[in-house]
Amino acid sequence: MNLNRYRRQILVKELGEKGQYTLSEKHVVVIGGGGLGSNSADILVRTGIGSIDIIDNDLLDLTNLHRTSLFNEEDIGKSKCQILEEKLQQVNSEVVVRGIKKRITKENIESAVKHADIILDGTDNMETRFLINEVAVKSNIPWIYAGVHTTVGMVMGIIPRQTPCLKCISHSIANNKTDEIPVMGNLPVTIASIQCTEAAKILLGKQLSGLIMYDIWKQRFEQINVKKNPECTCCGKERFELL
């Protein structure tokens, strides 16, 4: 590893040289390569993670461009995960970047994440998030929930059996079932940045910040104190009904 690349980051005491080496040994799986997933993958590759899989089945569309920084007009019609693999590999050749073109299902999710040190949520629907939650708890892999809607984003780091899981707090999260989620273009990169900070904390064994809610229009930041539900069917009773 060329430490000089990370010199300014290593000066941050929360990371340091030891933290940088720790990050360089970690494998991240990002599920979804759109507004959230592409920005989080970009941040993690620049941060110096060891390896990253970006799983996405979609082709880039004109309507994706307002909330991403890595995609250009010339990429329209190409596979999102393939574009991300090519561009991010150029950003940092020391990181192993793999774009995996598939839709995550209950049949393939366990094999997709089995080598992950952490899973990042870059999806746009609660069904897939609850599936990630179950596989994460079952396989004992930390994951970071993230979601965006209009001007509001939410993030929560989840360490199975230590911190509340997504099912524990499902009553606190709106399930907006619309085909097109309204979102301000600069929100996903902000929420991705918070998501990657929580991911770094987990990978470095630091204290998490609970459920984070940020409204980019009102500039209101909240840390919500959430509790584990002992009756939770997922992390309490360990019934994995979606898998």
Interface ranges with Zn ion (CB under 5 A) = 165, 167-168, 232, 234-235
Provide, rounded to whole angstroms, the least separation between the CB of residue 231 and Zn ion. Answer: 9
Provide, rounded to whole angstroms, the least separation between the CB of residue 167 and Zn ion. Answer: 4
Q: Which residue is nearest to Zn ion (CB)?
A: 232
Between 96 and 159, name the residue whose CB sits nearer to Zn ion.
159
Between 75 and 134, name the residue whose CB sits nearer to Zn ion.
134
Between 48 and 160, name the residue whose CB sits nearer to Zn ion.
160
CB-CB contact of 10 with 23 (8 Å):
no
Provide, rounded to whole angstroms, the least separation between the CB of residue 208 and Zn ion. Answer: 15
Between 97 and 232, name the residue whose CB sits nearer to Zn ion.
232
Provide, rounded to whole angstroms, the least separation between the CB of residue 164 and Zn ion. Answer: 6
**What angle separates helix 187-203 from helix 35-47, to the nearest 10 degrees?**
50
CA proximity to 235, closest of 160, 141, 157: 160
Q: Quote the CA–CA distance of 6 and 115 in Å, as a whole number.
A: 25
